[in-house]
A = this chain, B = another copy of it.
Amino acid sequence: MAAAELDDSDRAILRELVGDATSGAGEIGRRLGLSQPATWRRIRRLEEAGVIKGRRVEVDRASLGFGVTVFLGIKLATRGRVSLEDFERAATAIPEVQMVQHVLGLFDYRLRVVARDLADFERVLRRRVMTLPGVGNVEANVVLTEERRPGPFG
């Protein structure tokens, strides 16, 4: 996808929507000094250009009973010639796996895993992750705190 041409207003709108997509075009425009139709047209243009990929709700996993989040780094065993597709398919089939990243570096894959507690995580690790096809070394990082930032828009 080629870089879309965005001006300051577009970037300001994106910053608002990434932080909180609750308010509509009217309220966002008011904050930026734009009229409601102008803001609405810009948002629609950003959606059509593919800059805005979708809208989702953020869920508090802790209130759902999943208090533990762990990032796993996985190095595939060099011995067996297991296809990446096999590994990815098996990894994404684990309910507790929220994200599967194919990465370049010390590891081949990074998995974001949620569990109810550390005991539950150990169960997932031993019975699900360690039995993935081709899995070699596994490194784990338990998430203590996580802060998200808006990120650069231009």
Contacts and interface: CB of A to CB of B under 8 A. Distances in A.
This protein's copies in its complex: 2
Given A19-B56, A50-B60, 19 more contacts: A1-B62, A2-B63, A3-B64, A4-B63, A18-B56, A21-B54, A52-B58, A55-B57, A96-B151, A97-B149, A99-B147, A101-B146, A101-B147, A102-B143, A102-B145, A104-B144, A105-B139, A110-B143, A114-B151
B17 A57 contact: yes
Interface of A: 1-4, 6, 14, 17-22, 49-66, 71, 73, 88, 92, 95-107, 110, 114, 139-149, 151-154
Interface centre among A110, A140, A151, by most chain B C-beta atoms within 10 angstroms, is A151
B64 A53 contact: no
